[in-house]
Amino acid sequence: MDGLSGEDHCTAYIDGASSGNPGPSAYAYLIRRGGGTVKGAGYLGHGTNNYAEYQALLHCLRRALKLGCGLITVYSDSQLLVKQIMGEYSTRDPLLRRLRDEAMELIRRFTFFEIKHISRELNSEANKLASMTLARVLREKGE
């Protein structure tokens, strides 16, 4: 299973990217445990940066559960996402509220979950993966 198994503590880095905000968007995540790293990224179509950040979290959580991560710490450079997940900010946008609710359902399936805000510099690998995914798709589309 991608070199990761068991209920060890996983560390994840997530990021979303949007060109134009709203505009073409993409997500990326890295899940680390021990010596293994699993990466994921994808194109989302038209969306905001906040939509892309939530999609990064959702894709990351789903993959972490499939990998058997029972304990996870997620790092994000989106203060809005972190504060909304922690319940410190309200989620007024109906789409983001639905995505937050979906994330909370996934979070309940972990034995331990925490999410922390970090600077973009400390999230450079996930940021680069999301940006490269978006740039590749835009090149392919001729945009």
Angstrom distance (rounded) from CA 77 to CA 10: 18
For residue 140, the SS3 value is: helix
pTM assigned to the model: 0.93
Domain that includes residue 77, residue range: 9-119+126-137
Q: What is the mean pLDDT of the chain?
A: 94
Residue 111 pLDDT: 95
Q: Is residue 94 part of a domain?
A: yes
Number of domains in the chain: 1
Q: What is the pLDDT of residues 82-138, one digit of tens each?
A: 999 999 999 999 999 999 999 999 999 999 999 999 999 999 999 999 999 999 999
Mean pLDDT of 76-80: 98
Query: What CATH number corresponds to the domain at position 30?
Result: 3.30.420.10
Angstrom distance (rounded) from CA 67 to CA 3: 9
Instruction: Please report which confidence band the pLDDT of residue 28 belongs to, taking 50, 70 and 90 as the band edges.
Output: very high
| Cβ proximity of 69 and 31 under 8 Å | yes
Q: Is residue 61 part of a domain?
A: yes
Residue 124 pLDDT: 98
Q: In 10 A of CB 112, how many CB atoms?
A: 12
Residue 141 pLDDT: 85
Mean pLDDT of 69-75: 97
In percent, the amount of the chain with pLDDT more than 90 equals 90
Which residues does residue 12 pair with via DSSP β-bridges, in sequence order?
Answer: 31, 74
Mean pLDDT of 67-76: 96
Instruction: Please report which confidence band the pLDDT of residue 78 belongs to, taking 50, 70 and 90 as the band edges.
Output: very high
Q: Is residue 3 part of a domain?
A: no
Q: Is residue 143 part of a domain?
A: no
